[in-house]
């Protein structure tokens, strides 16, 4: 682009914040801005594009690269994409050469791109300013598992070094005198929830509530006497209530808040405290009301003191914890991501942007912030100096861009403050009051059908009139002010929406189970109806997907179980994941580790003995008649054997065996490592697991490897790490099950919502409330949470509690909005039937939906009952699946283009030219500047995914014996290998590749090749051995696919697996000649590796698909023998 043109367009830049609704293209707008800056000659390392997750950062980077790469092609479609890109970045007549220049600049600066998470960006700054910030220069970032361990260590230090009486008193204040058996858990729950708030707020905010004046004992006695003298003359009920009130006042004492709460909640005191002058519709005499006033003021003062005391106790506990925690982290040189943010937020970094850029080796000129509604105040305070300095310049020099949606702010539990985004223009003003930020809005969806948009508008318009939200007027008004009617650009999409009740349950737990089972039934119905979800749209671009969105990880695990192979057998995976303990096999392994650590843990020992792991570790023998052909999941519950009852665990012989096994397991772990030990166990129990359990076991090994690297000697920390860490299921399927939080940024053709019974503002776990000085200002007041009947009596404190509770309600509205707007075409909402005794709509999401969609009901209407459809809405064809083109349930051809699979493949750059070429596959070696693929002119099918999958399986196959003895375990293991080798292909394709190799392994000759040497002493197999050697002045690189080494290293046999399709023995000989140079390179490399002569190296080319082997001599002359005679 010409410099003049760039300068002219640079003056069109603005400092911008965009409020974009769901599906309106937030990431598209951000990538447009990035590409526009790039086209204005901004260096890639001068553009900071920041978001909150590594996945989102990777998506931004990949979208930028993909848009450039696709626009740089020579096709007609690429010309259309260039025109669109030209319009998006306001660069008229964008030429292909210019796009290639932009792509070239990006590719050459991949290592310097500033597309990253906020935590990563803060971490880089902190490392460069560690000394100025008072942090260890060699500090390391720890994960949540280690942070938990350090928190527990700090708590133990508190209890060991602190004043026991003070700690007991603090805990008593926190728990209102209630007995708490788990002191450590109580403290950890408090600090986990409030530590970030403690670090943000000044100490004064914890002391901001002024105490009230209380009556002393004499004044209290006089007030009670005056109340007794002020006897009412009304009905008998009134006289009795007055007498009871006097008695309660006498027994209450001066500062007993519980007793005064009883007093103020009963008798005549209750209506008088509420401001009414009647009791059961009978007026209360003025002199009686006057006598109650002093005691009511005293009761309110006692309540107020209770809030003050509990708030102070909370702050004192957090202060004590903070001191110990900082000592522990300093000793370990450990830092959390929160430490980085706090250090920057507290530092005075204003005016230091140039110094920051110099130290982090980036000349930041432009700041782009994604999902800014999730920013918390500490993060904003850390960013503020950089943003302030950026917007102080003209946008053509330095520019600022932010995008987000305050309706999708669902991270209140991380103290997200969406007001930072909504009030951004007011926060960033020049000294003269001039606004520097231009705020824009986007409300048109490019995702959803009109049917979905209709429901969004009906549910979220005029929330103030929705009966279910009546208790939260602040949240309702705020929502109505920010919500604009949505529209969609996808008017051609058909769609269907349904709200229906499920069967009635007798208690909350049963009702939840019924809803989750109903969701699984619905998934199964949709899945079976649509040819195993092997569907694509008319354009053939991608498979149809179902998203089951839930509130909790436990619900995710339950739905995955209901869809699993032992229930409905619907392929489903969890995204974001939950703990690996959702697999019975993992629980059995963890129980065995508990036994190893605590040999007298009888419950854990019983669980191991009643699982297939028991015989493996030696805790018990296999039940008579049991084999690896038993049902995979039934095998995990062999608890009907009476001799293994928990009571038997106290038997001396059983106890002695348990201790011997525990000692042996500890020795094995100390000698071999935890990961290797678990791997042996998992291979042994694999026949008893289904595929998902096996995947979770493999992921358990990954965690064990990370644990081994830390050098821990105890197993309890590993057990806790497994229980606490969420691990995503790597398998892909058309059905995805996850929490609503994990679905953020995703979309599905069909969304199912079965967890809509949550309260709009759940307060059971609420510990404190707080008030800010302004929408995005510092915290001004903090108060320990108490029930509404206490806080509502204080006019000065009630707004603090009301605003905080309304924030919770607003977040629930956001959560519902996010869940509904994930849907492209189908939306199913499953709710409980209303209680028959309910007089008004409860404050729940389900009630909000019924009020908005089912409409007002007349008294004559039949009450809403179980399994009743309350609302349906469709757009276009109501049976919207029918227009979809069905794809046969067969493996896809290897030459099928990625676009036909709906795959978003990463950008793959061509390898560096010249002799320093990296090998792309095991048969590729560089021969005088050419690859073997060049020599053989291999087509896509030969070098495609299928060959890669076969090679990956063969690379894990030492001998056939173990696989023949445990075929189910072998199948599961090889299926996991294929998934990892070719992650972009679907489950059916992966299964087909495993079955394909199974067929190949049925050839007698192939089996003979792969068995040769098995069981012989000293014979071993090695796979995929890379080599690099000089040949004729050029670097030659390649891979030896399979090498069998005999008793002495002088006996070396290299076996290669060409992907060529050959018809017979003659054809194989002809193809083998093309591999002459490859064979020679292999012989030379193997000879150098094992120090033998090239003539001593035996090479066999096994054309695996046809079952034909060709023995290759030193001169590449060949003698072939057919191995397919028995096939």
How high is the pLDDT of residue 908? 33
- The enclosing domain of 88 has a CATH number of 3.40.50.300
Of all residues in the chain, the percent with pLDDT exceeding 90 is: 30
Domain identity same for 719 and 617: yes
Q: Evaluate if residue 531 carries a pLDDT over 90.
A: no
Q: Evaluate if residue 1011 carries a pLDDT over 90.
A: no
Q: How far apart are CA 978 and CA 891, in angstroms?
A: 14
Q: Evaluate if residue 632 carries a pLDDT over 60.
A: no
Q: Which strand ranges, in their side-by-side order, compose the sheet holding 366-369?
A: 114-117, 47-51, 366-369, 399-404, 16-20, 438-442
Is residue 226 domain-resident?
no
CB 1004 within 8 Å of CB 917: no
How high is the pLDDT of residue 564? 81
Q: Evaluate if residue 799 carries a pLDDT over 80.
A: yes
Q: What's the mean pLDDT in 401-418?
A: 90
873: β partners: 497
- Give one DSSP letter per residue of 734-756, joined into a string: SEEEEETGGGTT--EEEEEE---
Is residue 815 domain-resident?
yes
> Residue 905's CB: how many other CB atoms inside 10 A?
11
Q: Evaluate if residue 1125 carries a pLDDT over 90.
A: no
Q: Is 711 helix (H, G, I), strand (E, B) or coil?
A: coil
Q: How far apart are CA 236 and CA 241, in angstroms?
A: 9
Domain identity same for 947 and 1082: yes
Query: Which range (190-194, 464-468, 874-878, 1047-1051) has the least confidence?
Result: 1047-1051
Confidence of residue 850 (pLDDT cuts 50, 70, 90): very high
Domain identity same for 845 and 859: yes
Q: Which of 61-70, 425-434, 945-954 has the highest mean pLDDT?
A: 61-70
Per residue in 633-663, pLDDT (tens digit) is: 444 444 444 444 555 666 777 788 888 999 9
How high is the pLDDT of residue 198? 94
Domain count, the chain: 4
Higher pLDDT, 893 or 1113: 1113
How high is the pLDDT of residue 1034? 57
Q: How far apart are CA 85 and CA 90, in angstroms?
A: 8
Domain identity same for 769 and 645: no
Is residue 1100 domain-resident?
yes
Q: Evaluate if residue 910 carries a pLDDT over 60.
A: no
CB 925 within 8 Å of CB 1037: yes
How high is the pLDDT of residue 500? 94
Burial tier of 257 (Cβ tally within 10 Å: 0-12, 13-18, 19+): buried
Q: Which two tokens stand for residue 180?
A: 């708490």
Q: Is 1089 helix (H, G, I), strand (E, B) or coil?
A: helix
Q: Evaluate if residue 136 carries a pLDDT over 80.
A: yes
Is residue 888 domain-resident?
no
Q: What's the mean pLDDT in 263-273?
A: 87
Domain identity same for 928 and 1069: yes
Q: Which two tokens stand for residue 918?
A: 């990296």
Which helix (DSSP H) or strand (DSSP E) does residue 339 occupy? Answer: helix 337-346
How high is the pLDDT of residue 1009? 82
Domain identity same for 1054 and 1091: yes
Tokens 């303990």 correspond to: 581
Q: Evaluate if residue 859 carries a pLDDT over 80.
A: no
Query: Which range (351-360, 409-418, 459-468, 1086-1095) has the least confidence?
Result: 351-360
Q: What's the mean pLDDT in 701-710?
A: 86
Torsion sign across C-alpha atoms 466, 468, 471, 473: negative
CB 1063 within 8 Å of CB 1070: no
> Could you say which of 668, 696, 727 is where a domain stops?
727
Q: How far apart are CA 527 and CA 312, in angstroms?
A: 56
Q: How far apart are CA 545 and CA 533, in angstroms?
A: 8
Of all residues in the chain, the percent with pLDDT exceeding 70 is: 83
Domain identity same for 59 and 97: yes
Domain identity same for 867 and 1009: no
Query: Which range (403-407, 615-619, 750-754) has the least confidence?
Result: 615-619
CB 496 within 8 Å of CB 878: yes
Q: How far apart are CA 1099 and CA 241, in angstroms?
A: 102
Confidence of residue 308 (pLDDT cuts 50, 70, 90): very high
In sequence order, the 6+-apart residues with CB closer than 8 A to the CB of 758 are 551, 812, 844, 845
Q: How far apart are CA 727 and CA 1029, in angstroms?
A: 41
Is residue 481 domain-resident?
yes
Per residue in 279-295, pLDDT (tens digit) is: 888 888 899 999 999 99
Q: Evaluate if residue 733 carries a pLDDT over 70.
A: yes
Query: Which range (213-227, 317-331, 379-393, 613-627) has the least confidence?
Result: 613-627
How high is the pLDDT of residue 1064? 79
Domain identity same for 587 and 506: no
Q: Evaluate if residue 190 carries a pLDDT over 80.
A: yes
Query: Which range (150-164, 374-388, 472-486, 1039-1053) has the least confidence?
Result: 1039-1053
Confidence of residue 1071 (pLDDT cuts 50, 70, 90): confident
> Could you say which of 442, 458, 479 is where a domain stops?
442
Tokens 């009030």 correspond to: 423
CB 936 within 8 Å of CB 1074: yes
Q: Evaluate if residue 690 carries a pLDDT over 80.
A: no
Confidence of residue 142 (pLDDT cuts 50, 70, 90): confident
In sequence order, the 6+-apart residues with CB closer than 8 A to the CB of 71 are 78, 81, 82, 85, 94, 96, 99
Per residue in 913-972, pLDDT (tens digit) is: 333 222 323 333 333 333 333 322 333 333 457 777 887 888 878 888 777 777 777 888
How high is the pLDDT of residue 931? 32
Is residue 157 domain-resident?
no
Say if strands 282-283 and 278-279 run parallel, antiparallel, or are unpaired: antiparallel
Domain identity same for 935 and 1043: yes
Confidence of residue 175 (pLDDT cuts 50, 70, 90): low
Confidence of residue 879 (pLDDT cuts 50, 70, 90): low
Domain identity same for 345 and 372: yes
Domain identity same for 460 and 519: yes
Q: From the DSSP assignment, how many helices (H) and strands (E) are in the chain?
A: 43, 31
Q: How far apart are CA 630 and CA 626, in angstroms?
A: 7
How high is the pLDDT of residue 721? 86
Confidence of residue 399 (pLDDT cuts 50, 70, 90): very high
1112: β partners: 1099, 1118
Q: What's the mean pLDDT in 1030-1034?
A: 61
> Residue 297's CB: how many other CB atoms inside 10 A?
16
> Could you say which of 420, 442, 464 is where a domain stops?
442
Domain containing 20 equals 3-133+340-442
Say if strands 930-931 and 926-927 run parallel, antiparallel, or are unpaired: antiparallel
Is residue 223 domain-resident?
no
0.85 exceeded by pTM: no
Q: Evaluate if residue 178 carries a pLDDT over 70.
A: no
Taking CA atoms, 796 is separated from 210, 297, 304, 779, 926, in Å, by 10, 14, 11, 16, 79
Q: How far apart are CA 129 and CA 118, in angstroms?
A: 16
Q: Which of 84-98, 130-144, 711-725, 828-842 has the highest mean pLDDT?
A: 84-98
What does residue 440 show for φ and ψ, rounded to 5 degrees? -120, 160
CB 1073 within 8 Å of CB 1116: yes
Query: What mean pLDDT value characterizes the chain?
Result: 80
Is residue 222 domain-resident?
no
Q: Among 361, 351, 427, 365, which residue's Cα sits nearest to residue 395?
A: 365
Q: Among 1004, 582, 549, 1052, which residue's Cα sits nearest to residue 819?
A: 549
> Residue 487's CB: how many other CB atoms inside 10 A?
14
């Amino acid at each position: 682009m010409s410099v003049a043109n760039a300068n002219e367009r640079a003056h069109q830049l603005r400092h911008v914040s965009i409020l974009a609704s769901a599906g309106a293209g937030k990431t598209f707008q951000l990538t447009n801005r990035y590409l526009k800056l790039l086209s204005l000659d901004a260096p890639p390392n001068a553009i900071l594009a920041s978001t909150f997750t590594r996945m989102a950062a990777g998506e931004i980077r990949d979208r930028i690269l993909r848009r450039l790469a696709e626009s740089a092609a020579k096709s007609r479609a690429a010309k259309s994409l260039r025109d669109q890109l030209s319009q998006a970045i306001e660069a008229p007549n964008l030429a292909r050469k210019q796009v290639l220049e932009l792509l070239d600049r990006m590719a050459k600066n991949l290592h310097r791109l500033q597309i990253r998470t906020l935590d990563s960006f803060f971490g880089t700054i902190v490392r460069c300013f560690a000394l100025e910030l008072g942090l260890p220069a060699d500090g390391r970032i720890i994960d949540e598992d280690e942070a938990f361990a350090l928190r527990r260590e700090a708590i133990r230090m508190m209890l060991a070094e602190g004043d026991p009486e003070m700690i007991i008193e603090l805990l008593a204040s926190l728990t209102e005198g209630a007995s708490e058996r788990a002191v450590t858990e109580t403290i950890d729950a408090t600090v986990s929830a409030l530590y970030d708030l403690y670090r943000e707020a000044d100490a004064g905010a914890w002391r901001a509530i002024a105490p009230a004046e209380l009556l002393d004992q004499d004044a209290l006695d006089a007030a009670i006497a005056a109340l007794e003298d002020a006897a009412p003359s009304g009905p008998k009920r009134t006289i009795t209530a007055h007498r009871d009130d006097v008695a309660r006042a006498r027994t209450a004492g001066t500062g007993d808040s519980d007793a005064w709460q009883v007093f103020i909640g009963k008798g005549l005191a209750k209506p008088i405290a509420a401001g009414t002058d009647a009791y059961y519709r009978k007026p209360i005499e003025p002199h009686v009301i006057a006598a109650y006033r002093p005691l009511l003021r005293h009761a309110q003062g006692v309540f107020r003191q209770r809030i003050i005391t509990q708030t102070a106790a909370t702050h004192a506990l957090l202060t004590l914890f903070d001191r110990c925690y900082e000592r522990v982290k300093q000793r370990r040189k450990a830092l959390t991501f929160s430490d980085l943010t706090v250090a920057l937020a507290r530092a005075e970094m204003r005016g230091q942007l140039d110094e920051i850029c110099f130290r982090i080796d980036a000349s930041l000129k432009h700041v782009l912030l994604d999902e800014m509604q999730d920013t918390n105040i500490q993060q904003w305070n850390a960013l503020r100096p950089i943003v302030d300095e950026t917007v102080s310049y003209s946008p053509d020099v330095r520019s600022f861009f932010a995008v987000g949606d305050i309706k999708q702010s669902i991270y209140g539990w991380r103290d997200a403050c969406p007001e930072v985004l909504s009030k951004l223009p007011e926060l960033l003003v020049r000294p003269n009051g001039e606004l520097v930020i231009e705020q824009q809005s986007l409300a048109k969806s490019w995702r959803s059908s009109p049917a979905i948009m209709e429901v969004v508008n009906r549910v979220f318009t005029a929330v103030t009139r929705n009966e279910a939200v009546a208790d939260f007027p602040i949240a309702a008004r705020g929502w109505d002010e920010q919500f604009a009617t949505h529209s969609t650009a996808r008017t051609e999409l058909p769609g269907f929406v349904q709200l229906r009740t499920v069967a009635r349950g007798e208690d909350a737990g049963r009702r939840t189970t019924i809803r989750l089972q109903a969701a699984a039934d619905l998934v199964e119905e949709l899945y079976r109806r649509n040819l195993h979800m092997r569907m694509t749209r008319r354009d053939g671009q991608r498979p149809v997907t179902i998203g089951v969105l839930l509130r909790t990880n436990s619900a995710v695990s339950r739905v995955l179980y209901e869809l699993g192979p032992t229930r409905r057998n619907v392929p489903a995976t969890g995204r974001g994941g939950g703990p690996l303990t959702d697999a019975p096999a993992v629980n059995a392994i963890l129980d065995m580790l508990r036994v190893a650590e605590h040999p007298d843990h009888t419950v854990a020992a019983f669980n191991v003995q009643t699982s297939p792991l028991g015989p493996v570790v030696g805790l018990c023998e296999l039940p008579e008649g049991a084999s690896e052909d038993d049902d995979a999941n039934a095998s995990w519950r062999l608890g009907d054997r009476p001799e293994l009852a928990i009571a038997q665990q106290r038997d001396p012989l059983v106890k002695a065996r348990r201790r011997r096994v525990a000692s042996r397991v500890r020795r094995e772990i100390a000698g071999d490592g935890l990961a290797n030990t678990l791997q042996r166990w998992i291979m042994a129990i694999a026949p008893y697991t289904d595929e998902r359990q096996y995947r979770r076991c493999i992921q358990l090994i990954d965690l064990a490897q990370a644990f081994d690297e830390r050098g821990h000697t105890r197993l309890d920390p590993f057990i806790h790490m497994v229980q606490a860490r969420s691990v995503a299921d790597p398998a892909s399927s058309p059905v995805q099950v996850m929490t609503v939080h994990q679905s953020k940024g995703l979309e599905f053709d069909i969304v199912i919502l079965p967890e809509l019974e949550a309260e709009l503002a759940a307060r059971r776990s609420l510990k404190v409330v707080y008030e800010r000085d302004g929408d995005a200002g510092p915290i001004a007041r903090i108060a320990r949470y108490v029930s509404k009947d206490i806080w509502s009596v204080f006019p000065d404190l009630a707004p603090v509690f009301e605003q905080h509770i309304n924030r919770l309600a607003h977040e629930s509205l956001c959560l519902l909005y996010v869940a509904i707007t994930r849907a492209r075409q189908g939306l199913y909402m499953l709710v409980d039937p209303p209680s028959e005794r309910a007089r008004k709509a409860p404050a729940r999401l389900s009630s909000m939906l019924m009020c908005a969609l089912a409409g007002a009901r007349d008294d004559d209407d039949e009450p809403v009952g179980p399994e009743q459809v309350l609302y349906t809405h469709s757009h276009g064809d109501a049976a919207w699946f029918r227009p979809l083109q069905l794809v046969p349930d067969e493996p896809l051809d290897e030459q099928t283009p990625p676009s036909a699979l709906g795959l978003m493949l990463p950008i793959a750059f061509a390898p560096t030219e010249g002799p320093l070429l990296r090998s792309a596959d095991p048969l590729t070696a560089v021969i005088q500047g050419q690859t073997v693929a060049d020599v053989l002119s291999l087509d896509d099918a030969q070098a495609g995914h299928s060959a890669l999958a076969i090679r990956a399986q063969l690379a894990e196959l030492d001998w056939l014996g173990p696989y023949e003895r445990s075929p189910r375990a072998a199948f599961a293991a090889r299926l996991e290998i294929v998934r990892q080798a070719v992650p972009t292909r679907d489950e059916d394709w992966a299964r087909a590749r495993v079955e394909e190799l199974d067929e190949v392994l049925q050839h007698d000759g192939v089996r003979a090749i792969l068995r040769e040497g098995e069981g012989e002493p000293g014979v071993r197999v090695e796979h995929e051995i890379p080599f690099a050697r000089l040949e004729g002045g050029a670097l030659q690189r390649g891979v030896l696919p399979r090498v069998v080494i005999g008793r002495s290293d002088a006996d070396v046999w290299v076996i290669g697996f060409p992907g060529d399709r050959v018809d017979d023995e003659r054809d194989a000989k002809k193809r083998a000649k093309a591999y002459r140079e490859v064979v020679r390179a292999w012989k030379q490399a193997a000879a150098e590796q094992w120090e033998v002569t090239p003539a001593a190296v035996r090479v066999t080319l096994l054309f695996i698909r046809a079952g034909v082997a060709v023995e290759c001599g030193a001169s590449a002359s060949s003698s072939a023998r057919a191995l397919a005679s028995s096939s």
